């Protein structure tokens, strides 16, 4: 079993086998000649790296075409031929190949090669893989996971002889800074030795030059050795040409001499010339003439001559279109994708396409039906030095052409259920692409059309007419195909790219399109989890739950599912929150925005997670290390570091891009509840329950100052020049960060409880939130209260100044966000939420707010454009906890254990009928009589049950006596009411029977619950002779009402319900309707035949009626549950 699991792990780990990549490269570039690389084996720098264990890194650098890749191939061969070869792991980066162009791919390949050679080291991979499966290697947290795994492998005593080789760092287009940092640190920290190669890029130089104990070998400084190697390569290639073309000695010598004179130490130039000369179209008799006219020295002149040849060919126009398009694509295209993007070749078959690619000089090549540039320098030449030829109308115009064509093919291809899934809850994990795949030719267009539109405007101002046409085309696509596009994005695992695409359209001018894109943005953010989970939910959950005035209700009314008969009552407009996330693994205790508002950090029980503000995605793995609750998190102002303060009395500093913990700062003796960075990010300050603040250097982790206080510290902040530190504990204290001396100390004369405090960015004002009082503004230079906010107030636990200190924001415990002017104290904006808010974080411009709204849940709001939002449904302010249908399914009642009001609703329309008032505390249980004339409600703590008339809302009887009632139910004839009383101490609950006409207790039935769990439900039989009791651990007991004797325990039955994770409404155990994150249900729900009512944590509830007939048609013959 262990061997099988290891094989499965290796299979999922495998993305590319670097050994195969090496073979392919050598086949493509030509035979590897030992004489062309052996010079480096004798080089002093190589010997120094090889022979001295103190030198962990050899960096080989040189200009394009100098043979760096083949040089490394030769080194690999020599190492593998050694008597006792080490564990050799290598990777070849390639910018034009997505599988080979990211930092994550590099680590994935290196780990793969190690575990293939040292199988026991797979234990380090299995440690994470057994919990995460294949997504360990693919998801947004892959870098953190893989870097941690590789570090553990390199640190394993069993790996004491490893050599790691990474070629072409400059072609790592995604995550290069992370990779450079990893290589720099790993080459100094572990026994493994490293070889890397790259172009002479300043960014790489800057990262690697600080690496201690490294050796740099520059090819330009070894011109004689490189030239000699190139001459060896020339002799080999010319001999191949002579054999193939049957050159005579004169021709052979002339070719060799021309190549030697003009190569200038560049292997790539030689390879390109020889490739051209090997073309069957070039006859032997034309070779010498061709040499003189067509192959000038240097890569750029050679590329220019190749362009000239293309312009003289019969296919010049098409070839230039192909080069223009490929030079601006964001990733290599398949033949099918490229042919769709270029209208003039859309009808060509593969043979014609391959022939055309071959006619594009030697700029392009085809591998596995994907079109690549022959070398990165070829693409650079076309964009930077030949754009006047292939991009005569400008780069912006070509981007617009690609954008326009993309929209055309999307409109032609996209349709509902394009893969024929049929089932509304068909999980994305089980989707297999059909053959032929209708999305194969439009994958690129689906993801990148908006990027090309954005670059068309950024790089070149289009004409007014072009701009209007482009925006009209976008409007048409969205109005006719928006939901189909979202379905396709889900099938392509590209929903986050869809969010980014809509964001890139922020520069449109048409007012109607601006409003359409706002609606599209809210739609994708709100229902992204549903559509990602099951693509067809875009027509079910998303379309059913979106607001009634959403444009998609109008445009796609025909796509609404016919298997939903009763639709939920929804809001008219979008709510102010952008999205809700229910992904955290612990209670959220702290929250902070990065200075650019791009990231949100949340601290919970022992971990920190980072989320993209734009997409709502969790990015990278959680930051682990604290041993207790994390009460404070803060980003540095340059967004490179994150600080966290914990109940474990430590502060930790983390690198944001890698997730590495830089320092653990120790010194406090109690919980850290505040952390903050200086504006230059060189200092971090922490405030603790031990009534002290400590000042730390971020570079070293050293504590440079400790300052005691007399009371609990409510606020800390730095001045903008980082020279002053302010703290407030009832007294304003200003300190010098250089000397630690007091600059100013002012006592605030306030006798009211201070709940929250914040300093303005320039430290001139202190904002104080007081218990049920206005927010006060105090001058920090005089200690004078200069202003108070105007309006209604409740206790605020979070306040923050805007970046320019002209506004201050507050969030109060009643769930209201308020924005005030600091110069006048006037209220300028108010945003009401259905939840109670304990604390929140504000973006620097105060336009975005994030706050936890329950266990493991947080929500992000936009403070703009909130006036149009209305909550049409009345409901519990603090969340519905009980909900039930009447027997005739015409009424629904809801209640909350946090409120004393019971609400009565019309099940068909969702209209609110009555508010039943009379209880003094929260209502825990409700029940309808069989004839729906009466409603009973029980208060858990008040020890009363109230009976209400459903037609008038009048209370007709109060039953006193039941203790801690958790469940109630009417008998069929309404003569009796049963109540379940909870008594945990004795592990014996009780069912009490009450007369509804007198309120007297008829009988008490004890129920032993020690082994079965507490009572969860009760119900009478039709003749009222039996009573059934449901218990928490799944048992059902049926007792005789008269004798109390146990009769039987029935088997459970199927029907409409909910999935175990409470994310889905199910039908016959099949997922059919995703419950949106902001409508996630709490324990209350009710089912009447095919109608479901659900209470939500937002305080709302919804009623949905299903068509059994239509669902039966959909699931007929499907073994899906």
d(CA 914, CA 638): 55
Greatest pairwise CA separation for the chain in angstroms: 123
Tell me the backbone φ, ψ of residue 489, rounded to 5 degrees: -60, -40
Partners of residue 1039 on adjacent β-strands: 1027, 1046
H or E stretch including 379? helix 376-385
Give the orientation angle of helix 249-263 with respect to helix 287-294, to 10 degrees. Answer: 10
pLDDT value of position 874: 47
Average pLDDT over residues 567-571: 82
Which tens digit of pLDDT belongs to each residue from 912-952? 788 899 888 778 888 999 888 999 998 877 788 999 999 99
Choose between 836 and 535: higher pLDDT.
535
Weakest-pLDDT range from 19-23, 54-58, 76-80, 219-223: 219-223
* Strand duo 848-854 + 841-842: pairing: antiparallel
d(CA 1014, CA 987): 8
pLDDT band for position 1071 (50/70/90)?
very high
Average pLDDT over residues 315-332: 93
Choose between 1048 and 604: higher pLDDT.
604
Weakest-pLDDT range from 452-456, 605-609, 630-634: 605-609
Q: Who contacts 679 (Cβ-Cβ below 8 Å, separation ≥6)?
A: 637, 718, 719, 720, 721, 722
Which tens digit of pLDDT belongs to each residue from 709-718? 888 888 888 8
Weakest-pLDDT range from 193-202, 505-514, 994-1003, 1020-1029: 1020-1029
% of residues, the chain, pLDDT over 70 = 86
Helices (DSSP H) in 736-853: which residue ranges?
A: none
Choose between 847 and 127: higher pLDDT.
127
Choose between 755 and 495: higher pLDDT.
495
CA torsion 935-940-942-943 (nearest 10°) is 80
d(CA 362, CA 67): 18
pLDDT band for position 986 (50/70/90)?
very low
Statement: residue 1073 has pLDDT above 50: yes
pLDDT band for position 791 (50/70/90)?
low
Weakest-pLDDT range from 46-55, 365-374, 604-613, 1076-1085: 1076-1085
Tell me the backbone φ, ψ of residue 500, rounded to 5 degrees: -65, -40
pLDDT value of position 203: 85
Statement: residue 278 has pLDDT above 50: yes
Statement: residue 298 has pLDDT above 60: yes
Decide if 929 contacts 974 (C-beta within 8 A): yes
d(CA 105, CA 182): 14
pLDDT band for position 687 (50/70/90)?
very high
Statement: residue 853 has pLDDT above 70: no
Whose tokens are 């172009």? That residue is 199
Choose between 657 and 546: higher pLDDT.
546
Q: Who contacts 622 (Cβ-Cβ below 8 Å, separation ≥6)?
A: 585, 607, 608, 609
Statement: residue 308 has pLDDT above 60: yes
pLDDT value of position 752: 55
Average pLDDT over residues 256-268: 86
Selection from 346, 1058, 1117, 540 nearest residue 356 by Cα:
346
* Strand duo 162-167 + 193-198: pairing: parallel
pLDDT band for position 389 (50/70/90)?
confident
Which tens digit of pLDDT belongs to each residue from 87-127? 999 999 988 777 898 999 999 999 999 999 999 999 999 98
pLDDT value of position 1046: 74
Average pLDDT over residues 958-963: 77
Weakest-pLDDT range from 42-56, 606-620, 660-674: 606-620
Weakest-pLDDT range from 41-50, 259-268, 888-897: 888-897
Tokens for 7, please give them: 């094989």
């Amino acid at each position: 079993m262990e061997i099988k699991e290891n094989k499965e792990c290796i299979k999922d780990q495998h993305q590319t086998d670097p050994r195969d990549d090496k073979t392919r490269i050598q086949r493509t570039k030509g035979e590897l000649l030992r004489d062309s690389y052996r010079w480096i084996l004798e080089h002093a720098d190589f010997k120094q790296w090889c022979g001295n264990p103190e030198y962990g890194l050899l960096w080989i650098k040189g200009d394009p075409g100098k043979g760096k890749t083949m040089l490394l191939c030769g080194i690999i061969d020599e190492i593998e031929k050694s008597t006792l070869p080490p564990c050799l792991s290598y990777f070849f980066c390639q910018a034009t190949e997505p599988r080979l162009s990211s930092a994550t791919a590099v680590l994935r390949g290196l780990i793969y090669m190690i575990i293939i050679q040292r199988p026991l080291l797979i234990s380090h991979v299995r440690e994470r893989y057994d919990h995460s499966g294949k997504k360990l290697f693919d998801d947004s947290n892959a870098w953190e996971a893989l870097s941690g795994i590789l570090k553990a492998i390199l640190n394993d005593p069993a790996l004491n002889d490893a050599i790691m080789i990474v070629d072409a760092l400059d072609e790592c287009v995604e995550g290069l800074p992370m990779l450079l940092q990893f290589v720099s640190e790993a080459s100094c920290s572990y026994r493994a030795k490293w070889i890397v190669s790259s172009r002479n890029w300043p960014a790489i130089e800057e990262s690697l030059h600080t690496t201690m104990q490294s050796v740099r070998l520059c090819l330009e400084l070894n011109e004689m050795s490189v030239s000699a190697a190139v001459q060896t390569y020339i002799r080999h290639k010319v001999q191949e040409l002579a054999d193939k073309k049957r050159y005579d000695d004169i021709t052979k010598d002339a070719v060799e001499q021309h190549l030697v004179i003009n190569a200038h130490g560049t292997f790539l130039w030689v390879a390109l010339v020889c490739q051209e000369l090997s073309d069957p179209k070039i006859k032997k008799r034309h070779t010498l003439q061709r040499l003189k006219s067509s192959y000038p020295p240097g890569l750029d002149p050679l590329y220019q001559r190749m362009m000239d040849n293309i312009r003289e060919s019969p296919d010049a126009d098409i070839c230039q279109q192909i080069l223009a398009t490929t030079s601006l694509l964001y990733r290599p295209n398949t033949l099918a994708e490229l042919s769709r993007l270029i209208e003039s070749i859309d009808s060509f078959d593969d043979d014609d396409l391959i022939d055309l690619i071959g006619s594009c000089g030697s700029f392009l090549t085809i591998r596995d039906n994907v079109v690549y540039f022959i070398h990165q320098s070829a693409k650079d030449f076309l964009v930077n030095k030949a754009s006047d030829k292939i991009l005569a109308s400008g780069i912006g115009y070509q981007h617009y052409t690609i954008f326009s064509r993309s929209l055309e093919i999307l409109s032609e291809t996209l349709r509902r259920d394009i893969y024929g899934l049929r089932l509304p809850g068909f999980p994305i994990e089980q989707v297999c692409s059909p053959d032929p795949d209708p999305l194969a030719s439009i994958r690129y267009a689906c993801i990148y059309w908006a990027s090309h539109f954005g670059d068309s405007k950024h790089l070149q101002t289009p004409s007014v007419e072009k701009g209007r046409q482009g925006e009209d085309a976008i409007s048409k696509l969205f109005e006719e195909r928006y939901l189909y596009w979202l379905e396709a994005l889900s099938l392509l695992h590209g929903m986050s790219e869809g969010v980014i695409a809509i964001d890139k359209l922020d520069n449109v001018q048409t007012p109607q399109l601006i409003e359409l894109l706002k609606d599209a943005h809210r739609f994708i953010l709100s229902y992204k989890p549903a559509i990602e989970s099951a693509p067809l939910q875009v027509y079910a959950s998303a379309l059913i739950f979106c607001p009634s005035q959403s444009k998609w209700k109008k445009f796609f009314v025909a796509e609404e599912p016919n298997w939903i008969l009763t639709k939920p009552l929804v809001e008219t407009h979008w709510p102010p929150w952008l999205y809700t996330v229910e992904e955290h693994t612990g209670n959220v205790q702290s929250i902070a925005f990065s200075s650019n508002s791009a990231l949100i950090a949340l601290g919970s029980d022992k971990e920190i997670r980072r989320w993209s503000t734009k997409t709502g995605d969790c990015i990278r793995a959680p930051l682990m290390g604290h041993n207790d609750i994390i009460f404070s998190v803060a980003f540095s102002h340059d967004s490179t570091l994150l600080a966290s303060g914990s109940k474990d009395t430590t502060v930790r500093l983390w690198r944001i891009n890698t997730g590495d913990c830089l320092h653990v700062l120790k010194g406090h003796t109690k919980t850290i509840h505040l952390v903050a960075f200086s504006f230059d990010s060189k200092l971090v300050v922490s405030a603790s329950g031990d009534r002290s603040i400590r000042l730390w250097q971020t570079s070293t982790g050293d504590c440079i100052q400790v300052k005691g206080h007399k009371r609990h510290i409510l606020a800390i902040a730095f001045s903008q020049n980082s020279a002053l530190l302010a703290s407030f504990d009832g007294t304003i204290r200003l300190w010098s960060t250089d000397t630690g001396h007091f600059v100013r100390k002012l006592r605030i004369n306030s006798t009211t409880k201070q709940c929250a405090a914040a300093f303005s960015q320039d430290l001139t004002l202190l904002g104080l939130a007081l218990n049920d009082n206005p927010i006060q503004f105090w001058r920090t230079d005089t200690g004078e209260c200069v202003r108070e906010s105007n309006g209604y107030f409740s206790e605020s636990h979070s306040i923050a100044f805007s970046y320019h200190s002209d506004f201050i924001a507050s969030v109060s415990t009643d769930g209201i966000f308020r924005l005030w002017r600091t110069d006048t104290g006037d209220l300028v904006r108010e945003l009401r939420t259905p939840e109670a808010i304990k604390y929140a974080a504000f973006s620097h411009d105060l336009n975005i707010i994030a706050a936890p709204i329950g266990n493991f849940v947080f929500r992000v709001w936009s403070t703009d454009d909130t006036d149009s939002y209305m909550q049409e449904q009345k409901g519990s302010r603090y969340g519905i906890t009980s909900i039930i249908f009447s027997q005739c399914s015409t009424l629904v009642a809801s209640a909350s254990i946090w409120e004393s009001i019971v609400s009565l609703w019309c099940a068909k329309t969702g209209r609110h009928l009555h508010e039943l008032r009379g209880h003094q505390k929260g209502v825990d249980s409700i029940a309808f009589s069989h004839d729906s004339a009466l409603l009973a409600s029980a208060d858990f703590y008040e020890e009363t049950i109230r009976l209400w008339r459903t037609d008038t809302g009048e209370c007709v009887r109060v039953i006193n006596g039941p203790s801690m009632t958790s469940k109630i139910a009417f008998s069929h004839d309404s003569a009796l009411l049963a109540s379940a009383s909870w008594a945990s101490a004795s592990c014996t609950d009780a069912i009490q029977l009450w007369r509804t006409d007198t309120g007297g207790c008829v009988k008490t039935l004890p129920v032993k619950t020690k082994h079965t769990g507490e009572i969860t439900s009760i119900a009478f039989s039709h003749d009222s002779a039996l009573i059934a009791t449901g218990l928490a651990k799944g048992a059902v007991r049926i007792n005789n009402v008269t004798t109390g004797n146990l009769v039987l325990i029935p088997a459970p039955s199927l029907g409409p319900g909910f999935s175990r994770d409470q994310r889905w409404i199910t039908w016959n155990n099949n997922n059919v309707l995703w419950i949106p994150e902001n409508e996630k249900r709490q324990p209350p729900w009710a089912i009447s035949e095919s109608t479901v009512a659900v209470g939500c944590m937002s305080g709302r509830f919804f009623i949905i009626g299903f068509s059994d007939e239509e669902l039966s048609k959909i699931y007929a013959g499907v073994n899906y549950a």
